[in-house]
Chain A
């Protein structure tokens, strides 16, 4: 059961091989045993989880269960869940118990009947690529506990990789689903911007943030995505479009598929071991009937600079709500209203969050707006146009998810720029608003390597198909780390 797919778990629940309460206990026991080593969860509430499991069992007994009813899932601690402490990895929200559900949570708990096992650790306010900026301490990678799991959805990634949960939610602003998925040997999907509601998902950079699934396989991701999507009038950028079944095309043959290989993703700057695994995966795709064509994303080298203007600008605005008045941390001592703001924010935010607020404040300030913010928005257009051009000659784009495998804890923590560059292949996708995935494609030095798949707008079903066919032909995604039995 620990390693079972969501489909297998669904079957086991439907045929009464196991109850949701039993299944939930199984994973709660693993969390109790292994979380002290990994620090993947920041909040667990067994009673709450078991209550949801009892409700799910009643639905199964009554014959009103959906395909995922009763299946446990880990929730990234960026999603507000009523009655659950929701911290976003920050001291600012260390005692915040959410009075409402995010739309994603409401859909999972309500219609889908899934059971939340707890809230997973993350980089503070999702700002980080290693999970080291969390107020609750770093998460350790189950593949090597001296190494980072990636970030910002590092807790979700470590939890699923160590099978403390069958699947998890994540969010991705510049690679925060795909990069940790790559570093922990998982399948993760960032949908097209606007497909998954952002309501109740604590905002970092609103024009880039998108929630999505992290799981062991593309098939699992498809089933989860089906529960997460849908128009939501509470999110002003939610897209009103027909409902799709993201699992509908999983088995479609790949004959005739045109894979675009951006020349900029296959040059210098990527570890040789990562590159070898990615090239082997593309060779496997050719065996499955696909053809590779070279494409170009000539402005992709500008994606990191543009992102580090746009994302901090939006963050500085979004995080101005944390003022110590309506919710969150308030300093103990202060002598005026202004002093209360200044001290609450100085004490409540960690170093990386403060850095990004300061960058954002600067690039939006009078006299610098045109040179930085407007220039970044123009470059964003160039980057998005590159993808439009590339998709004229291919169906999906492939390349590495991350330029390296999991790095050591502390290795990049002192140098923000080195940390930022670990998202060099993922950020352009968020700027353009496209769907992207990471799929396990081998190992380098004993550590997992992720293959990035980038689709055209609303191409999720095709991406999942492309990933699933590869997973039928390979077994990388089934490999599990030692030491977490």
Chain B
């Protein structure tokens, strides 16, 4: 398998990472090297093997539906790039 330049640009867009054409070319060659390594997996017959998502076979715990955290909005918004009146500011989305 080999990724085309257009595929690299498409993945970068899906990941919301701006990429210039020259960066995309370098990335293309690195990713193709990595995928060459990954391709070793394709030779393995895994029919009938249960996929393993996790080291411990756990089911998600449930907890009582009760408030456990206090409101710390001011502290959490102090680290935000831009806020106003307790809201996060982003560029206008709807005209």
| A residues at B contact (CB < 8 Å) | 96-97, 99, 192-194, 207-208, 233, 236-237, 239, 299, 301-302, 304-306, 308-309, 316, 320, 323-330, 334-343, 345-346, 349, 354-355, 357-359, 361-362, 365, 371-372, 374-382, 384, 415-417, 420, 431-434
Contact = CB atoms under 8 A, between A and B. Distances in A.
B80 A337 contact: no
A364 B69 CA distance: 34
Contacts of B85: none
A382 B46 contact: yes
Interface string B8-20: 1001111111110
A325 B90 contact: yes
Contact of B11 (A326, A338, A361, A380): A361
B31 A355 contact: yes
B15 A326 contact: no
A415 B40 CA distance: 18
Given A193-B56, A355-B31, A359-B34, A340 B41 contact: no
Contacts of B31: 355, 358-359, 362
Task: Indicate the size class of the contact surface on chain B.
Answer: 35 or more
Given A343-B18, A361-B11, A378-B51, A327 B80 contact: yes
Given A237-B58, A302-B40, A342-B17, A377 B11 contact: no
A346 B27 CA distance: 13
A377 B38 contact: no
Contact of A99 (B38, B75, B93): B75
5 contacts: A320-B15, A362-B11, A374-B51, A416-B33, A417-B37
Nearest to A99: B75
B91 A236 contact: no
B61 A236 contact: yes
B90 A207 contact: no
B37 A97 contact: no
Contact of B63 (A192, A233, A237): A233
Contacts of B72: 99
The 7 closest A-B pairs by CB, nearest first: A433-B55, A377-B51, A378-B46, A330-B81, A346-B18, A381-B52, A193-B55
Contacts of A308: 34, 37-38
Nearest to B13: A342
A378 B52 contact: yes
Of listed A320, A330, A378, A433, residue having the most chain B CB within 10 A: A378
Interface in B30-75: 30-31, 33-42, 44, 46, 49-56, 58, 60-61, 63, 72, 75
B49 A378 contact: yes
B75 to A, nearest CB: 4
A306 to B, nearest CB: 6
A424 B88 CA distance: 44
A432 B8 CA distance: 31
B16 A345 contact: yes
Nearest to A341: B16
A342 to B, nearest CB: 4
B17 A309 contact: no
Contacts of B63: 233
Given A325-B90, A358-B8, A305 B52 contact: no
Contacts of A365: 11, 14
Contacts of B18: 339, 342-343, 345-346
Contacts of A358: 8, 11-12, 15, 17, 27, 31
B37 A354 contact: no
A455 to B, nearest CB: 14
A239 B54 CA distance: 13
Nearest to B3: A362
A381 B35 CA distance: 21
Given A304-B37, A415-B33, 18 more contacts: A99-B75, A193-B56, A299-B44, A305-B38, A305-B39, A325-B88, A326-B76, A326-B88, A334-B91, A342-B13, A354-B27, A359-B31, A359-B34, A362-B7, A374-B51, A377-B51, A380-B51, A381-B49
Given A378-B51, A416-B34, A346 B79 contact: no
Contacts of A302: 40-41, 44
B28 to A, nearest CB: 10
A320 B15 CA distance: 8
Contacts of A326: 76, 79-80, 88
Given A337-B93, A340-B90, A355-B31, A381 B51 contact: yes
Given A346-B18, A346-B19, A381-B52, A325 B44 contact: no
A193 B41 CA distance: 24
A346 B17 CA distance: 5
A325 B16 CA distance: 14
Nearest to A237: B58
A247 B82 CA distance: 49
Contact of A236 (B12, B37, B60): B60
Contacts of A237: 54, 56, 58
Given A382-B49, A417-B33, A337 B55 contact: no
